[in-house]
Amino acid sequence: MKNSNVFFWSLVVALGGFLFGFDTAVISGAEKAIQQVWSLNPVEHGFTISIALIGTVFGAIFGGIPSDKLGRRQTLIWIAVLYFVSALGAALTNSWVAFMVFRFLGGLGVGASSVTAPLYISEVSPPESRGRMVSMFQFNIVLGILVAYLSNYLLTGVGSEDWRWMLGVQVLPAAVFFLLLFRVPESPRWLLGRGRVEEGRQVLQLINPAQADQDVASILTTNAADEALGGGHSLFARQYRGPVMLAVLFAVFNQVSGINAIIYFAPRIFEMTGLGKGSALLSSAGLGLVNFAFTLLARQFIDRFGRRKLMLIGSYGLIVTLGLVAWAFYRQDFSALGGMLVPVLLFVYIAFFAFSQGAVIWVFISEIFPNTVRAKGQALGSSTHWVMAALIAFTFPYFAEKLGGGNTFAFFCAMMVLQLLFVWRLMPETKGTSLEQLEKTLVLH
């Protein structure tokens, strides 16, 4: 990475992804104790665990509004506050209702960070390294999930109310995130879009001094051309139909791959194949490690191979692995590889997902929208992703029981065939191209 400023800013903002992953996973270690503390019935328990996901959907839907009104940096600062207050409040409260409110606030932070963090990193990164920089966000999500599981393990048995420590420890990274954001400048593209030309020029000079004036002229010209076409700041103007379709389809395919169903319900899936509970939990931890390793690997290739090639590789891999898992369930024969056939296939599945969809989604959606509506476009893609995540997570247990593992995984496989067609026929390549040039290609033509 040639520009240390861009790397530092991206690393700081990507901490929002770390907190995203940590907040999402940390509840797994505390959920049983929480049920006992407040004597929750199954419905109350389910609602308590899912309240953060509900907050995430709302945070994603409305996250583009403060990003546009207040700026990307100021929004990220408020997101850090949400994470801090959520962790501290959930750890200390003795009220079930207050606990729900604090977890909902954490969910708002997760949803808003999935909009604003990739948006900011995309807007400050040079074209040749934009993929690596934005995919740092996804890498940090996966890292946050792993650290949450490790933290839960280490804090188990620390006092009679160890679950409070599990939830409360998040205040430390939240505080670090908050303080470091004061060393990050506002997005130059947001500044230029608000007429603050000299401030925007100063930030662009920190990114690439030799090209700052040219970048200012290009951004202002593209914004003016966009306004002249009548689009302005309305996401659903006619000329944005292409990027809107790409973002929505990409986000839908991300979830109908079955990724969240597999991550959330991995122990249940493995037990369906005859594995004991201990082996099922160990195999679930293995999924997390594979996800981490291949997300890291994808960062090294996303700017070299391009987004489209990673998606083609991933689509073929997902089709084959999901097809084989469905076939194993249809035959009810899990004896291959010492009874580890399905876990091994799902390890390979996770590897292909992390190398493609996992790494590409936040990069691609942050690149395809014009400057004037990028925050709204990112919010649309992110909220579609989270609504689909909730839908798949809530319906998977029902369909797995009623339709069986074979039909359920065959559905995911069929969806990946459609994804392959989408990538092959509709998905443009965005690597190595400036955001303004992409706008001319996708919108101003």
Name the residue among 106, 133, 138 with its Cα closest to residue 120: 133
- Where among 184, 205, 225 does a domain terminate? 184
Distance from C-alpha of 49 to C-alpha of 90, rounded to nearest angstrom:
12
CA pair distance 442, 435, nearest whole angstrom: 10
pTM reported for the whole predicted model: 0.88
Position 192 in a domain: no
Range of the domain at 327: 234-445
* Residues 171, 251 share a domain: no
Considering only the C-alpha atoms of the chain, give the largest distance between any 2 of them, rounded to a whole number of Å: 67
Any idea what the CATH number is for the domain that residue 263 is in?
1.20.1250.20
Tokens of 136: 């740092």
Helices (H), 169-306: 171-180, 188-193, 197-207, 212-228, 241-256, 259-264, 266-272, 277-301
Q: Of 232, 215, 223, 27, which is closest to residue 110 (Cα–Cα)?
A: 27
Query: Is residue 407, in this structure, part of any structural domain at all?
Result: yes
Q: Are residues 306 and 168 in the same domain?
A: no
User: Of 184, 217, 250, which one is at a domain's C-terminal end?
Assistant: 184
Predicted local confidence at residue 301, as pLDDT: 95
Residue among 83, 85, 75 at smallest CA distance from 117: 75
Rounded CA-CA distance 275/219 in Å is 57
Does some domain include residue 211? no
CA distance 217 to 213: 6
| Measured torsion, CA atoms of residues 337, 342, 345, 350, in degrees rounded to the nearest 10 | -140
Q: Which residues contact 243 (CB under 8 A, 6 or more apart)?
A: 368, 369, 370, 377, 442, 443
Handedness of CA 236, 359, 344, 271 (dihedral sign): negative
416 domain residue, yes or no: yes
Whether residues 130 and 259 share a domain: the answer is no
What is the three-class DSSP state of 252? Answer: helix
Q: Give the C-alpha separation, 291 to 164, whole Å.
A: 28
The answer to whether residues 273 and 410 touch, using CB atoms and an 8 Å cutoff, is: no
445 residues of the chain, pLDDT tens digit each? 457 899 999 999 999 999 988 988 888 778 788 888 999 888 888 888 888 889 999 999 999 999 999 999 999 999 999 999 999 999 999 999 999 999 999 999 999 999 999 999 999 999 999 999 999 999 999 999 888 888 888 888 887 888 999 999 999 999 999 999 999 999 999 999 999 999 999 999 999 998 999 999 999 998 888 777 665 567 888 888 999 999 999 999 999 999 888 876 666 677 777 766 555 555 666 777 888 899 999 999 999 999 999 999 999 999 999 999 999 889 887 777 666 788 889 889 999 999 999 999 999 999 999 888 999 999 999 999 999 988 887 788 788 788 888 999 999 999 999 999 999 999 999 999 999 899 888 875 5
Place of tokens 């400036």: 434
Number of domains into which the chain is organized: 2
Q: Do residues 103 and 95 touch, judged by C-beta distance below 8 A?
A: no
Residue 223 lies in a domain: no
Q: Who's near 325: CB < 8 A, 6+ residues apart?
A: 342, 345, 346, 349, 405, 409
Residue found by looking up tokens 């959930």 in the block: 90
Does 170 share its domain with 245?
no
Amino acid at 179: L
Whose tokens are 């083609």? That residue is 312
Tell me what pLDDT residue 1 has. 46
Query: What confidence score (pLDDT) does residue 246 get?
Result: 96
d(CA 131, CA 363): 6
Shared domain check, 308 and 238: yes
Domain ends where: 184, 201, 223? 184
For residue 190, what are its two tokens?
A: 């947001």
The tokens describing 383, both together, are 């909220």
Pair 54, 101: CB distance under 8 Å:
no
Within 8 A by CB and 6+ apart from 3, the residues are 126, 207, 208
Residues 144, 261 within the same domain: no
Same domain, 241 and 178: no
Pair (239, 159) in one structural domain: no
Pair (155, 239) in one structural domain: no
Q: What tokens does 364 get?
A: 């691609």
Within a domain: 167: yes
Contact 80, 110 (CB under 8 A): no
List of residues 6+ apart from 157 with CB closer than 8 A: none
The two structure tokens encoding residue 36? 């006992």
Q: Same structural domain for residues 177 and 47?
A: yes
Assigned domain for 225 exists: no
Spatial distance between the Cα atoms of 108 and 101, rounded to a whole number of angstroms: 11
**Domain annotation covers residue 245:** yes
